């Protein structure tokens, strides 16, 4: 308990520090002239970015969530607006049977002569593929599969002589790794007219920046061309605290590739563990050139609750940005291996403020009253919906109880949104009368199939209850009257860094605690494993065909 209290105090203190930094930035003459990190808080990992004229487009991994691959638009690199999803049709993607941390890995977005390309890997199914679109908001094509590409994290590079190449993380030479985590970067030419790979597949980086040091998990490669030289930028070290970004240089895409003597060009792994307001696990970067010749990088990073060796965080891997320094003839991201800044001066670009724009980072409160006839882009499903089990009707989101559990690998009656802050809450108002004690509906905080809590309306011995479950274990129950359940019940889950509170109330009553200070590290990536972050989700379970009517959902984060 003392450790839990200490961590909470550290979390609140560090939040105050970060708030103070942001407040100082806001005190400047032009409060919008800065970029605040993370630019996309919450589970937005593996960012990739491209520029088309004055427009910038960014995408992220989604693993087994659907729709897949959100796409964001900006003109100033500061304010981003989601404009759609790349994979939003069942014909494009099959996620059935996959664990939460399988599915869509590390997409790359590029533009060439009027066409957008998105290339990625469907891990656990058919492997690597790409889709295309003329409009980045969609529609995007059905996949073109690339069975010849063995591995993950493909990227596509368009050279200025109209040739095209695909690079990816693949197996070690002869598929004979010298050590655990030994991988290689492969390249092959791609024929755009025939839509197929041609010629030799070749390894251009074996192991990493220095194979004598046994570097692990060289991945997420991207090729850029600058002043007649090619630069290959890739992640190295795995996705935890030793994550880093390294770079290589060549006069030809085929090599030989020279590793930068100053590698890594981005990492937080060498910093003191007890540094204030830490950002950890930085890497998996993509670079973009601005019209004035400056470059910026997007990359993933994590925000632990407090500066401790355990590195617990529930918000997943988030999207950060930093300027790129080429003064040494090589790209250096941010401060290299110094502490990443929370605030950077915004590049000299025209401010982007599209109609209906709402900030995606900082403190905010959002509420969905389900007044439209379609779900907003915020919402996600676990895997692809297999039938019409939900509808937006009369200002409510009606979800059908189905016997598909959160513990399985199917498509449960779950609709969720990301936890984007360590200090936040989600509240729903719903109307639901359970038929039996196996039937339940309510609010969850979900990390993966084995790590989630549910605050659910159900029955016990014929009496309606609000039940708190940890996966399938009942932690607490509070009886509620039939009169209360005939109306609307509000359920609230509050995150306080390393702990969660679970409360309910009838529509005219005070909040009642079901449980407080429940272990939040159970939902952290350190404990749960995998590559995703936590989701707040509306959920219904049962086999009677009963329905839960959700009247609104509110998320508030600091």
Could you list the active site residues? 46, 219
Handedness of CA 193, 194, 199, 203 (dihedral sign): positive
Of 231, 171, 167, 160, nearest to 207 (Cα)? 171
CB 501 within 8 A of CB 518: yes
- The CA distance from 189 to 159, in Å, is 11
Environment class of 175 (CB within 10 Å of its CB; exposed 0-12, middle 13-18, buried 19+): exposed
- Which residues does 5 contact at the CB level (< 8 Å), separation at least 6? none
Write the CA distances from 468 to 262, 472, 518, integer angstroms: 51, 10, 10
- The CA distance from 357 to 353, in Å, is 6
Environment class of 62 (CB within 10 Å of its CB; exposed 0-12, middle 13-18, buried 19+): buried
Give the phi and the psi of residue 10 in degrees, each rounded to 5.
-60, -45
3-state secondary structure of 200: strand
3-state secondary structure of 342: coil
E strands within 315-359?
A: 318-325, 332-333, 343-345
3-state secondary structure of 2: helix
Partners of 505 in the beta sheet?
Answer: 490
Environment class of 375 (CB within 10 Å of its CB; exposed 0-12, middle 13-18, buried 19+): middle
Task: Encode 510-537: b = buried (16+ Cβ within 10 Å), e = exposed.
Answer: eeeebbeebebbbbbbeebebbbbbbbb
- The CA distance from 283 to 155, in Å, is 16
3-state secondary structure of 7: helix
3-state secondary structure of 18: helix
DSSP assignment string, 218-284 = -EEEEEEEETTEEEEEEEES-SSTT-EEEEEEESSTTSPPEEPTT--SEESTTS-TT-SS--EEEEE
DSSP assignment string, 506-556 = ETTS--EEEEEEEESGGGSHHHH-SS---EEEEEEE-SS--EEEEEEEEEE
Give the phi and the psi of residue 142 in degrees, each rounded to 5.
-70, 160
For tokens 């907003």, name the residue: 376
Host H or E run for residue 6: helix 2-26
């Amino acid at each position: 308990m003392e450790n839990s209290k200490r961590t909470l105090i550290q979390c609140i203190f560090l939040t105050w520090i970060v708030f103070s930094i942001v407040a100082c930035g806001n005190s400047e003459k032009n409060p919008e002239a800065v970029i605040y990190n993370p630019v996309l808080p919450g589970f937005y990992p593996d960012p990739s970015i491209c520029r088309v004229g004055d427009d910038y487009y960014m995408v992220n991994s989604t693993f087994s969530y659907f729709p897949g691959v959100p796409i964001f638009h900006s003109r100033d690199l500061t304010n981003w607006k989601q404009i759609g999803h790349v994979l939003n049709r069942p014909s494009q993607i099959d996620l059935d049977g996959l664990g939460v941390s399988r599915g869509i890995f590390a997409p790359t977005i590029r533009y060439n002569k009027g066409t957008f390309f998105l290339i990625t890997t469907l891990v656990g199914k058919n492997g690597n593929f790409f889709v295309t679109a003329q409009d980045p908001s969609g529609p995007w094509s059905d996949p073109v599969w690339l069975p010849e590409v063995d591995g993950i994290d493909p990227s596509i590079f368009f050279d200025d002589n109209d040739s095209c190449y695909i690079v990816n993380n693949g197996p070690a030479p002869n598929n004979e790794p010298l050590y655990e985590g030994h991988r290689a970067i492969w390249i092959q030419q791609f024929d755009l007219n025939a839509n197929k790979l041609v010629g030799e597949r070749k390894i251009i980086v074996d192991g990493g920046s220095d194979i004598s040091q046994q570097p692990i998990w060289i991945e997420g490669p991207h090729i850029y061309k600058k002043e007649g030289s090619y630069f290959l930028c890739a992640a190295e070290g795995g996705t935890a605290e030793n994550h880093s970004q390294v770079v290589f240089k060549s006069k030809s895409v085929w090599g030989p590739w020279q590793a930068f003597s100053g590698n890594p060009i981005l990492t937080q792994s060498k910093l003191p563990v007890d540094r204030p307001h830490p950002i950890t696990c930085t890497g998996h970067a993509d670079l973009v050139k601005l019209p004035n010749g400056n470059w910026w990088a997007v990359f993933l990073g994590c925000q632990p609750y407090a500066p401790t060796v355990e590195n617990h965080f529930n918000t997943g891997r988030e999207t950060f940005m930093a300027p790129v320094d080429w003064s040494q003839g090589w790209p250096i991201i941010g401060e290299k291996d110094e502490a990443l800044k929370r605030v950077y001066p915004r590049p000299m670009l025209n401010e982007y403020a599209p109609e209906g724009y709402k900030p995606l980072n900082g403190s905010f409160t959002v509420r969905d009253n389900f007044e439209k006839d379609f779900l907003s882009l915020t919402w996600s499903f676990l895997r692809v919906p297999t039938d019409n089990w939900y509808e937006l009707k009369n200002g409510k989101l009606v979800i059908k109880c189905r016997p598909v559990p959160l513990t399985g690998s199917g498509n449960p009656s779950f609709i969720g949104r990301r936890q984007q802050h360590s200090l936040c809450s989600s509240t729903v108002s719903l109307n639901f009368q359970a038929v039996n004690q196996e039937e339940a509906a309510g609010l969850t905080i979900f990390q993966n199939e084995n790590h989630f809590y549910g605050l659910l309306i159900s029955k016990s011995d014929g009496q309606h209850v609000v039940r708190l479950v940890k996966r399938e274990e009942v932690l607490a129950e509070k009886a509620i009257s039939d009169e209360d359940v005939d109306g609307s019940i509000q359920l609230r889950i509050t995150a306080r860094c390393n702990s969660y509170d679970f409360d309910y109330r009838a529509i005219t009553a005070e909040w009642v605690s079901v449980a407080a200070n429940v272990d939040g590290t159970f939902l952290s990536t350190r404990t749960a494993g995998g590559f995703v972050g936590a989701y707040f989700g509306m959920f219904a379970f049962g086999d009677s065909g009963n329905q839960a009517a959700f009247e609104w959902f509110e998320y508030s984060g600091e």
